[in-house]
Amino acid sequence: MKPQDLPFFYTFESRRPLFEPPVLCIPPYFSDHDKYSSLCLESFERLEIEFCSGNGDWIVHRALSHPGIQFVAVEKLFKRVRKIWSKTVNHNVSNLLIVCGDAKDFMRHYVLDGSVDRYYMNFPDPWPKQRHAKHRLLTPEFIAGCRVKARGEALFTLVTDSHEVKEGSRALFENPALTQLDLASYGRSYFGDLWVSHGRTLYQVEARV
C-alpha cells in the first residue's frame, strides 16, 4: 500500500466522525461529537496513546514490539495519517488505532474516563511565540484532561529538542524527571533523527498524571 491509497473520507460539507478501521477520523470545526458516542474507544486491558505521531515511525515500531498492548496514534494532518496507515497495513500491525484529528477533541469526546495506562508525546510543535500560544497542545487544561482519562496514575513521557518545552514542563507536571534522551534506545522518529542530524540535544520528561 502507498500512502495515497487511503482515500479522503469526506468533503467539508459532509464531514462527520467516521471509523474506517484502523482509522478514526474526527473532523475539525465540528461540534456534534456527542451524537457519535458509539465511536468512543472501548475499554482495553492496556491502552497507550501517542499524541502528535507525525509519519508514525516511532509508534508503528512500538506497536510491533509490544503486541499485547493496544496503541493509539493521534495526528491531525491527513497527509501524515496516510503514512501511518500504509505502514500499519504493510507491516500487519493489528494493535494500532490511528486517529486523524485534533488530540484535544479526541481526548475530550472519544476516550473513556479512567481507561489510559500511558501517554507519549514526541517532539510536539513548540509554538514559542506568545501570539501562537493558542496552537500549543501542552497546556494545563490538556494535561488535566489526560489525568481524567488515566487509569490510576499514568506515566506521561514527553520528548523534545526544545529547551522552552523542557523547562515549561516543570509548570505542567508535578515532580517531572528531566533527563537527556538517548534516541537509539528510546526509539527513532522522523523528527528525532532530524534533530540529531542537526546536532541538537534531546530531552526526555517523565511525569505521572
Ligand X SMILES: C[S@@+](CC[C@H](N)C(=O)[O-])C[C@H]1O[C@@H](n2cnc3c(N)ncnc32)[C@H](O)[C@@H]1O
- Residue ranges that bind ligand X, judged by CB under 6 A: 52-54, 74-77, 80, 102-104, 122-125, 137, 189-192
Residue with the CB atom nearest ligand X in the bound state: 54
Q: Closest approach of Cβ 104 to ligand X, in Å?
A: 6
Catalytic residue among 57, 125, 161, 193: 125
- What is the distance between the terminal CA atoms of the chain, rounded to a whole angstrom? 38
Q: How far is CA 151 from CA 43, 47, 110, in A?
A: 11, 9, 15
The least CB distance from residue 189 to ligand X, in Å, is: 3
Identify which of residues 70 and 122 has a Cβ nearer to ligand X in the complex.
122
The count of residues in the chain is 209
Q: Which CB sits closer to ligand X, 81 or 209? A: 81
Q: CB 151 → ligand X: shortest distance, Å?
A: 22
Q: Which is nearer to ligand X, 137 or 178 (CB)?
A: 137
- Taking the complex as a whole, how short is the minimal distance between the CB of residue 45 and ligand X, in angstroms? 25
57 annotated active-site:
no
- Decide whether 121 or 154 has the Cβ nearer to ligand X: 121
- The vertex-87 CA angle with 81 and 90, nearest 5°, equals 135
Active-site residues, by number, are 125
